[in-house]
Amino acid sequence: MAFDHRKYVPFKPIAKADRRWPSRVIEKAPTWCAVDLRDGNQALVKPMSVAQKQRMFDLLVKLGFKEIEIGFPSASQPDFDFCRKLIEEKRIPEDVKIQVLTQARPELIERTYEALKGARRAIVHVYNSTSTVQREQVFGLDRAGIRDIAVNGARLVKELAAGFPDTEWTFQYSPESFTGTELDFAAEVIDAVTEVWRPDQGQPVIINLPATVEMATPNVFADQIEWICDTIRYREHLSISVHTHNDRGCAVAAAELAVMGGADRVEGTLMGNGERTGNMDLVTMAMNLYSQGIDPMLDLSGMAEITEVVEACTEISTHPRHPYAGELVFTAFSGSHQDAIRKCLSKRREGDAWHVAYLPIDPSDLGRRYEEVVRINSQSGKGGVAYVLERDYNISLPRWLQIEFSKVVQREAETDGGEVDSHTIHRLFEERYLKVHPDWALRAYDLHRNEEGVQAEVSVGESADPVSLTGRGLGAVEAVSDALERRFGIALAVEAYDEFALSEGTNANALACIRLTVNGKPCSAAALAEDTTSATLQALFSAVAQAVGVTMPEAEAADA
């Protein structure tokens, strides 16, 4: 059987009775380190060109990253050249530290320092693999052998740095494949490395704990981090960093829980590009903090630019559902969601805390437009359709017409099978409700009010010979309805009518909507006009036209 779960061994939980991280709350942003230009680049089908690297570097600086891993110069000539270019062309802002990766091998460490010659500040990131699997199956070394690689690497890093006293050095060590390493051994190696570097004597040191492969639930990773923080020597002099990968889809959660477990620093990439399923997504983690009212210490307000640059540099497109960044992440298609969002947004006052159903953050904070929030397809309800008409065309509909018109839009969406855009919604409304047939166009009206009610004289039709109607009633609608009944011998009952004044900036000043029955047959129409009476009478004529036919029928009881 090919699909056989019995092949796998469950990850052993960490025996830890005193875990404190579950009750911690993150209150400030960690130190961020972007590894797009190293881990991210290493994972690309087509590595970034110099121009793409430069563009990515400039974006990272602009977003506010102060630590940027720019490559693996000892393993790649393009990375070496890019490092030289940044230094020689003085492209690194004073408050930004570049970081470079090297394996803990003498020739690679030496080449790394060549690449960094002249840097004002730099982080030398040295690693070797420590996990059981790597020790036994890849390197064929015991614990002592692996520890010696790390220690010898650390010694050389320190020794060579001393030859460049003008550079402000930070040393970083990663026990690669940390998640698969026995914790006591990870602590042993870390202690051996820091014993060489002596962070307690003023040397800045970062210990980076990678989930090179994500192997368990994020709580297990948090346990591992808390355990290491509690165990290693010099903890208070160290910056503890995490570097999570996304094999189980939980890289962000693992990094967040690791911060709760004591990590000070987080490495990741924009949009989570990286080996296999990717690195931890810096955008998501930073925005998660932001949505909790915490300053992420990164400026992610230009999300369109971020996605554009990342896509251009990685040649990987952004998933439309990517948290905070995808095209659809602030969009509601379903009617109940649209309704709730619309209600919350309309109640919201400037300066209020953000409490909007279905929207964890304000889309405008990321440069997104409210126009994107409510989009219409066959699952949308009356609220969404009404919202779009009001938002884009200043047309507000009464509830009964919202219900009726949403069915028109739904039919269109079902026929078309996709989204109905704002322009189409407006066109459907015009075609179904606002169209005025020339025979039924209101030409003129005269209303006389006395103690008995209203006497209406109306002429209809654009021809040279318009039809004249007269009738009586308590109000204008009743009087004109009476005129229509007399003239055409029909029974007309008005079920609902609403009129709205339109705000400035539109050609018409009024919108009227009417629903009636003519000889028991329901019909409805709307009209835009300069004044509410004209709009109401025109809506009445258009509705009757639907019931009796657009061409003006012969008078049945003319002048009766």
Q: What is the DSSP string of 227-293?
A: HHHHHSTTGGGEEEEEEEB-TTS-HHHHHHHHHHTT--EEEEBGGG--STT-B-BHHHHHHHHHTTT
Q: Which is nearer to ligand KIV, 180 or 199 (CB)?
A: 180
| Residue 480 binding: pick among ligand KIV, Zn ion, none (C-beta 5-8 Å cut-off by kind) | none
Q: Which is nearer to Zn ion, 277 or 422 (CB)?
A: 277
Distance CA 550, CA 543 (A): 10
Binding mask 212-231 for ligand KIV (x = CB under 6 A): x-------------------
Binding mask 11-50 for Zn ion (x = CB under 5 A): ----------------------------x-----------
Residue 210 binding ligand KIV, by CB under 6 A: yes
Q: Which is nearer to ligand KIV, 174 or 284 (CB)?
A: 174
Residue 176 binding ligand KIV, by CB under 6 A: yes
Residue with tokens 């809506």: 539
Binding residue for ligand KIV, selected from 130, 131, 167, 174, defined by CB under 6 A: 174
* Least Å from the CB of residue 500 to Zn ion: 59
Residue 245 binding ligand KIV, by CB under 6 A: yes
Residue 265 binding ligand KIV, by CB under 6 A: no
Q: Which is nearer to ligand KIV, 280 or 300 (CB)?
A: 280
Q: What is the DSSP string of 522-558?
A: EEEEEEEESSHHHHHHHHHHHHHHHHH-SSPPPPSST
| Residue 228 binding: pick among ligand KIV, Zn ion, none (C-beta 5-8 Å cut-off by kind) | none
Residue 404 binding Zn ion, by CB under 5 A: no
Distance CA 206, CA 171 (A): 6
Beta bridge partners, 128, equal: 175
Coil vs helix vs strand at 64: coil
Q: How many residues form the binding site for ligand KIV (CB under 6 A)?
A: 10
* Least Å from the CB of residue 274 to Zn ion: 6
> Phi/psi of residue 169, each to 5°?
-95, 140
Residue 79 binding ligand KIV, by CB under 6 A: no
Binding residue for ligand KIV, selected from 21, 36, 37, 39, defined by CB under 6 A: 39
Exposure letters 237-267 (e unless 16+ CB within 10 A, then b): bbbbbbbbbbbbebbbbbbbbbbbbbbebbb
Beta bridge partners, 447, equal: 456
Q: How many residues form the binding site for Zn ion (CB under 5 A)?
A: 1
The pair of structure tokens assigned to 339 is 């309704």
* Least Å from the CB of residue 68 to Zn ion: 15
Residue type, 472: R
The pair of structure tokens assigned to 531 is 């004044």
User: Judging by beta carbons within 10 Å of its beta carbon (0-12, 13-18, 19+), is residue 3 exposed, middle or buried?
Assistant: exposed
Q: Which is nearer to ligand KIV, 80 or 387 (CB)?
A: 80
* Least Å from the CB of residue 71 to ligand KIV: 12
Stretch binding ligand KIV (CB under 6 A), from 185-193, 204-212, 474-482, 514-522: 204-212
* Least Å from the CB of residue 55 to ligand KIV: 22
Under 8 Å between Cβ of 243 and 250 = no
The CA-atom distances, in angstroms, between 559 and each of 72, 452, 470, 540 are 95, 20, 8, 20
Residues in contact with Zn ion by CB under 5 A are 39
What residues line the site for ligand KIV (CB under 6 A)? 39, 101, 127, 174, 176, 208, 210, 212, 243, 245
